[in-house]
Amino acid sequence: MNINWYPGHMAKTKKQIIEDLKLIDIVIEVLDARIPISSQNPDIQEQIKQKKKVIILNKSDLSDEKQNQKWVEYFAKQNIPAVLVDSTSGKGFNEVDKVIKNVYEAGRYEQKGRVGKSIRLMVMGIPNVGKSSFINRMAHKASTKVGNKPGVTKQKQWIRVSNEIELLDTPGVLWPKLDEKNTAMNLAYTGTIKDEILPTIEVGFALLKVLMEHYLKNLIERYKLSAEVIEAILQNRVLEPNEKALEVMNEIGRKRGCVIAGGEIDQERIANMLLEDFRTGKLGKITLEMSQ
């Protein structure tokens, strides 16, 4: 993360967001479709509740298609419309427009005196979920700075999206929740928490364990592992779960030639490779938080 979330900073950010909320009709909460719960910020939900909300499940090009549908249903059950989007290609944006108009129309009786005025939106989300990419897409232009450095300060202004819709050009940057280990790890896998903060080997190894549980086929395919060898490792009753994962890691290392002097497997290199391959989608479409 390029933002240091100390309490004073969080309080200031929250105050600014609450201030901005007064100007808008609908909150656009951008989540990472691979980790829809971990990429939410619970501390701000109380304030957002006063507003209509649309959830954007961004990076859906990288997440599991079956899980994508389940997550949309999950939010629908809570009466929150969620739209699957890929902000890099623009996929899903026609649906975004439609849903925004529907949500606005449904709440129109509450907005007496605003008939005929534009629908005003504001984008919110933790760093790295794709807020700037989303805003760029909505604006159909590339004037908003996009990159891995969230929180670039800009002058506040409205972007006209269409005849009916205006968008606040500055997103509300929410702080990620790092108090729970599992959530912090999910944020580390996706690269929201930068690799310098947590040891790469630990993060990569933990990711491997998650992948072994839910996406073993993807690992076998990507690294051309022998299904029989992997099966034998998994069925080995003498091995603890950590030892099994270590064995699989070594298998990947052997296939990839990640060997250091003395014939030992270069675990740091494998960990880096696993993280990189997951983040870039080379391991396939993967969701790390499963909807029930």
Ligand X SMILES: Nc1nc2c(ncn2[C@@H]2O[C@H](COP(=O)(O)OP(=O)(O)O)[C@@H](O)[C@H]2O)c(=O)[nH]1
User: Which of 87, 132, 136, 183 is the binder for Mg ion (CB under 5 A)?
Assistant: 132
User: Which of 128, 170, 190, 200 is the binder for ligand X (CB under 6 A)?
Assistant: 128
Toward ligand X, which CB reaches closer, 151 or 214? 151
Q: Residue 226: CA atoms inside 13 Å, Cβ hemisphere, count?
A: 9
Of the candidate spans 21-29, 69-77, 128-136, 234-242, the one that interacts with Mg ion by CB under 5 A turns out to be 128-136
Q: Does 125 bind Mg ion (CB under 5 A)?
A: no
Instruction: Write the burial class of residue 195 (CB in 10 Å: 0-12 exposed, 13-18 middle, 19+ buried).
Output: middle
Site string for ligand X, 11-50 (x = CB under 6 A): ----------------------------------------
Cα distance between residue 101 and residue 95, in whole Å: 10
User: Which residues 86-115 are close enough to bind ligand X by CB under 6 A?
Assistant: 86-88
Toward ligand X, which CB reaches closer, 25 or 86? 86
Q: Minimal distance in Å, beta carbon 8 to ligand X?
A: 21
Q: Are 275 and 203 in contact (CB under 8 A)?
A: yes
Q: Does 125 bind ligand X (CB under 6 A)?
A: yes
Q: What is the DSSP letter of 196?
A: T
Q: Does 147 bind ligand X (CB under 6 A)?
A: yes
The CA-atom distances, in angstroms, between 93 and each of 122, 134, 183, 222, 251 are 16, 9, 28, 31, 42
Q: Report which residue's Cβ sits closest to ligand X.
A: 130
Beta bridge partners of 32: 58
Q: Are 167 and 156 in contact (CB under 8 A)?
A: no
287 binds, among Mg ion, ligand X, none (CB under 5 to 8 A by kind): none
**Token pair belonging to 57:** 């499940």
Q: Does 62 bind ligand X (CB under 6 A)?
A: yes
Contacts of 210 (CB under 8 A, 6+ apart): 189, 288
Write out the residues near ligand X by the rule CB under 6 A. 58-59, 61-62, 86-88, 125, 127-133, 146-148, 150
